[in-house]
Amino acid sequence: MTVSTTLPGRHVVLRFPRQAEASSSSAHVAARSDEQPPRDSDETYQLLELPPEILKRMEGGKGEVFPLTIKGRPGDEAVLCTPDSTFLLRTVTISNSILVCRNPSSQHSSDPSSTATTFSTDTSIGTPQGGPPTLEIRDVCHSILEPLPCAPNLERIRKLLRPSSWRGLGEDDAGSLGSVIQASDGELEKGLRERNVVEVDDRMLLLSPTKLAPLLTLILTLLTMHSSSATSPSPKSPSPSASASSSAITRALEEDHDLPMPLGLAVLELFGTVEEGVWEADVRGMVREVGKGLLEGLKGPMGRDAFLGRWKGEVGESWEGFVLLDLLEGNYLLDPAPPSQRLSDPFMITHFPAHTLPLQPPMRFSDLFLTRARG
């Protein structure tokens, strides 16, 4: 890609395609107005104006490819994705027409009867014998596509993978996401992890919170039994983790609970890292997912303190210090308890996940305002 800011230095002849020459009058009208010139093919062009930060990365790659991908289904608003960002494409009308030109074919360039208009340019182009440099007009553009930063549409992950989601302990389980999820590769990878999607036997598997919570409760118990640390990690640590033999835990899951070893290993890697047979567990992440599963399984409002007590009982005494309501931020609402219950449990907790709200900000705020009655 080359961008030139050099002022015109010489004349160049612009010609319409040969089939446009049947009516020279219509060609002259097109040259003087905003109408599209006649063409000998169905070629059309859409111009994309890249933000400076993207253009800089494309031009400074030192031979490395910086991919740009337009994603979405036919009914979606198109988005432009870089390796780590997502942009909404907005059509912007421009006051000046932009001519898309190319070097003419030999049969056109030597034809003196072709309709032509002379402009000034400094572009290096072909020069027909005995005449000035010539370019052929392929299209006239009156708008450009402008990329605007936007949030990735990652909630389609749940919709696409829900039919193949894991059915839970004791159950037998019998296209490409990248092309339909409107997010960059980096955002997609992070989004899959945040939504507990694992790859098992070349298949993407969604682990729903309600099915995952009992499994993580079991894994936390096994972690207590097989932990290589003498003491449990502190909840106040920036990255609290505990280590154990990955094979010991996956073997126990397979032999005692019929959980296939590949799935067990995938879950361990989802909540920590496995290197040389040692699992460094993300305890806080597992405790959070247990809480999310309990919250999603509620049939209605529940006392906040009662919910926290149930959550602590599920994760066990070794890990109950990690139980904090802040871990579930964005997944619940708190309302005052009825007067008869207020002394024992002043607040009621209700499952209300943020991912169910519309993606567009105006509709999102409207739904949020409607969740509570005016007091």
Instruction: Give CA separation, 199 vs 17, 191, 245, 273, in Å.
Output: 53, 14, 21, 15
**Tens digit of each residue's pLDDT (9 = 90 or more) over 214-244:** 999 999 999 999 987 656 677 776 666 789 9
Is the residue at 293 inside a domain?
Answer: yes
User: How much is the pLDDT for 232?
Assistant: 66
In a domain, residue 83? The reply is: no
pLDDT in tens, 305-352: 999 999 999 999 999 999 999 999 989 999 999 888 888 889 999 998
Enumerate long-range contacts of 357-365, CB under 8 Å, 24 or more apart: 359/151, 359/153, 359/155
| Residue 211 pLDDT | 92
Write the pLDDT tens digit of every residue in 181-210: 888 989 989 888 988 999 888 888 999 999
How high is the mean pLDDT of the chain?
79
- Indicate the pTM of the whole model: 0.64
Number of domains present in the structure of the chain: 1
Q: Which residues on adjacent β-strands are paired with residue 120? A: 11
Task: Kindly report, residue by residue over 276-294, the tens digit of the pLDDT.
Answer: 999 999 999 999 999 999 9
Q: Is residue 211 part of a domain?
A: yes
In a domain, 251, yes or no: yes
In a domain, 125, yes or no: no
- Angle in degrees, 0-180, between the axes of helices 283-296 and 304-315, rounded to the nearest 10: 130
> What is the spatial distance between Cα 266 and Cα 261, in angstroms, rounded to a whole number?
9
Band (366; pLDDT cuts 50, 70, 90): low
In a domain, 317, yes or no: yes
Asked whether residue 225 is domain-assigned, the answer is yes
What's the rounded Cα separation, in Å, for the pair 219 and 283?
Answer: 10
Task: Check residue 115 and give its pLDDT.
Answer: 47
Q: Give the integer Cα–Cα distance in Å for 336 and 375.
A: 12
Count of CA atoms in the C-beta half-sphere (13 A) of 248: 13
Q: Which domain holds residue 264?
A: 207-229+238-374
- Residue 70 located in a structural domain: no
Across 32-36, 111-115, 335-339, which has the greatest mean pLDDT?
335-339
